[in-house]
Amino acid sequence: MKQLKILVVDDEALARSRLRTLLADCTSPPAVAAAEAADAVQAMSALQHDTFDAVLLDIRMPGTDGIALARNIAALPRPPSVVFVTAHSEHAVQAFDLEAIDYLTKPVRLERLQQALQKVERLGQGVQSPQPGIVEETLIIQDRGRTERVPLAEVLYLKAELKYITVRTARRSYILDGSLSELEERHAAHFVRIHRNALIARRAVRALEKHFDPEEGEGWAVRLNGIDEVLAVSRRQLGAVREAIVG
């Protein structure tokens, strides 16, 4: 298994030391802090003299901050992946707009660092990469200090429950603070409404079948690829769901 070469960029020596130690403990994939930089000038110098698989990049630094540095990195002929590492979560949306591969909040846990490096590894192997010129659509999930970008192509359904929206993929569920109507309007090409409180991914529909609900009686439900759960379809949306299956 290839060892990933990492450039660690942080103005605090203790933070760089902590990341260097964590990288030495990474086994899946293995990684090494091949170089360090305390500011943007040192980072760009390192990038011009060597190649790296990824940059672990702090945001708040003296002089040029991490956001501006990420833009400069993206302009390089063969830019490495950028993983932001910061104590501040408010920059997450801006960071993902720059196509950062992940966003870690301090103190960084080994498990989260390895997850980020696995994304770096997959990108380097060309796994699940969007076609050139196509920007992969995502939902940005913020949960208990963690910010994650979930590809829209992995989402099976969106369901409004109380004040939040459940975002369901084949692997797990997330909680999103937002409006179901806004998501429907923004991503109409991906989702179809099946109920006043639920949207499903058009590509994920496996079957439409008769379904008995103890509260609503005889009706219809959809089965989706990747999960065993069935979702009720309202009579009003039945035609749209049938079209999604056919089309």
Among the listed residues 186, 185, 166, 184, the one whose alpha carbon sits nearest the alpha carbon of residue 176 = 166
Listed in sequence order, the residues at least 6 apart from 123 whose beta carbon sits closer than 8 Å to its beta carbon are: 81, 101, 129
Rounded CA-CA distance 86/164 in Å is 26
pTM of the full structure:
0.54
Q: Which band of pLDDT confidence, cut at 50, 70 and 90, is reported for residue 19?
A: very high
Q: Are 201 and 157 in contact (CB under 8 A)?
A: yes
Q: Do the Cβ atoms of 158 and 167 come closer than 8 Å?
A: yes
Q: Going edge to edge, which strands form the sheet with 102-105?
A: 31-37, 4-9, 54-57, 81-86, 102-105, 146-151, 138-143
What are the helix (H) ranges across the chain?
13-25, 40-49, 66-74, 92-97, 110-125, 180-186, 238-246
The count of other CB atoms within 10 Å of the CB of residue 17 is: 14
Name the band, by pLDDT with cuts 50, 70 and 90, for residue 232: very high
CATH number for 151-246 (one of 3.10.20.30, 3.40.190.10, 2.40.50.1020, 3.40.50.2300): it is: 2.40.50.1020
Confidence band for 91, pLDDT divided at 50, 70 and 90: low
Distance CA 222, CA 82 (A): 39
Question: pLDDT by residue (tens digit) across 101-159?
Answer: 888 888 999 999 999 999 898 877 644 444 444 445 788 887 666 778 888 889 999 99
CB atoms within 10 A of CB 43: 25
Place of tokens 């030391």: 17
Question: 3-class DSSP state for residue 221?
Answer: strand
- DSSP run (H or E) holding 154: none
CATH class entry, domain 4-129: alpha beta
Give the model's pLDDT for residue 131: 44
pLDDT of residue 133: 43
**Sheet of 173-176, strands arranged across:** 173-176, 164-169, 155-161, 198-201, 191-195
Pairing of strands 54-57, 138-143: unpaired
The per-residue pLDDT for range 179-225, each reduced to its tens digit, is 899 999 888 888 999 999 999 998 888 889 988 777 667 889 999 98
pLDDT score at 127: 41
**So where are the chain's domains?**
4-129, 151-246
- pLDDT reported for residue 191: 93
Query: Residue 102 — φ and ψ, nearest 5°?
Result: -165, 170
Strand-strand pairing, 164-169 and 155-161:
antiparallel
Angle between helices 40-49 and 66-74 (to 10 degrees): 20
pLDDT digits (tens, 9 = 90+) for 38-69: 999 999 999 999 999 999 999 999 999 998 99
The residue-averaged pLDDT of 22-32 equals: 94
| Mean pLDDT computed over 16-20 | 96
